[in-house]
Structure formats: structure tokens, C-alpha cells
Amino acid sequence: MNTSVTIRMATKADAKEILAIYAPYVKNTAISFEYDVPSPEEFAERINNTLRKYPYIVALDSNRIIGYAYVSPFKERVAYDWAVETTVYVSQDCRGKGLGTTLYSALEAILKRQNILNLNACIAYTSMENAYLTNDSIYFHERLGYKKVAHFTQCGYKFGSWYDMIWMEKIIGGHSANPEPIIPIAELHDLLL
């Protein structure tokens, strides 16, 4: 990975630039199951909502955002607080250069400080790769230590095809009888300013 890449927390002001990375995945792939590209205003609100509790980070090269990663609640109930769903997207012209790994490594370090224990990734899967979906995301997560824990059959329909959904999981901390409370991202003031 290029050593000039820096990682920082996203802000609402980054929404248009981050959305430019995400839009091709919505329009041209089954990686995202969204059909329509969200507006910059809606996307800014998504970023803001995430940052209330969790990290939303961006990778920059020469002040240009080239990738991003964030987490969301695995489930909303309190008992699930120690589990999150991970997401990463990389600019089309930066794929295959280690940027996803860089983003996930930074994200994981932050999540450990927040006392998160379980990382879950929801990934589209196809038994026959096509122009809209390969299984590269599964292989990427496997390389990072994620294990397949669930397989849902034909639960997503996009571009005239049905796609399966794979859930993968990585445990990054010990599960004790009295887990440490989750620290909201805003309370970790020294992170990636």
C-alpha cells in the first residue's frame, strides 16, 4: 500500500466524496443490495448517525478520499452491544492494492479500544460469478481471519438474478462474565483526528 495514505475519521462534509466511491457499487454491482444511489444529504446523515457511537473512517491519498470503512450495530438490542457489522469500500481505481486491509486494520484497532468483541460481515455470494458479483469479498475476509458462520439462500434480487448472503465473523476479544461497557467513539478523543 502507498505509504502516503493517511486514515482519519469521516465527517458529514465528506459525504459527496465518499458517495462517489459507493455509487458505482450500487449502480454496477450486486455487492451492495441497494438499488438507488442515496442523495448526498441522506449519505451525510448516515455518516452522522454512525459517528454517534461507532467509527467511520476514510483513507486519503494526496487529500483525496480513496476508501472508507465503518461499523453499524449487529442488532439494536442492548445484549448485542459487543457485536458490530463491518463495512469497507475502496475506490475502483485503488482495488487490489491493500487499501481494504489497511482500513480494516485501523478500524479493528479502534473497535478493540471501544471494547467491541465480535465483528460480523454480511457479504453477497454467488454460486456462478458474473459481471455483477464475484466472491472476492469472501476471500478478502478469510485472509483477515473471518470465518463463515451462516449462509442464506437466494435472499437478494438485483440485476435479474438471485444472490445468496454469507455472514462471516471475527472475534477480536475475550468473552468474560462481566464484559467492559462499550465506549462511544466520541469519548476516544485521541483517535485519528
Distances (CA, A) of 84 to 4, 73, 117, 175, 179: 29, 5, 8, 15, 15
Instruction: Supply the pTM of this predicted model.
Output: 0.94
Mean of pLDDT over the chain: 94
For 121-149, what is each residue's pLDDT tens digit?
Answer: 999 999 999 999 999 999 999 999 999 99
Q: Render pLDDT for 154-170 as a digit per residue (tens, 0 to 9).
A: 999 999 999 999 999 99
Q: What is the pLDDT of residue 64?
A: 94
3-state secondary structure the chain: CCCCCEEEECCHHHHHHHHHHHHHHHHHCCCCCCCCCCCHHHHHHHHHHHCCCCCEEEEEECCEEEEEEEEEECCCCHHHCCEEEEEEEECHHHCCCCHHHHHHHHHHHHHHHCCCCEEEEEEEECCCCCCCCCCHHHHHHHHCCCEEEEEEEEEEEECCEEEEEEEEEEECCCCCCCCCCCCCHHHCCCCCC
Task: Give the pLDDT confidence score for residue 3 in this predicted structure.
Answer: 62
Q: What is the pLDDT of residue 190?
A: 67
pLDDT tens string 42-77: 999 999 999 999 999 999 999 999 999 999 999 999
Tell me the percentage of the chain whose pLDDT exceeds 90.
89
Question: With contact defined as beta carbons under 8 Å apart, do 7 and 103 qualify?
Answer: yes
Q: Does 193 score more than 50 pLDDT?
A: no
Q: Is the pLDDT of residue 41 over 80?
A: yes
| Domains of the chain, each with CATH number or no CATH | 6-182 (3.40.630.30)
Answer yes or no: are the C-beta atoms of 144 and 104 closer than 8 Å: yes
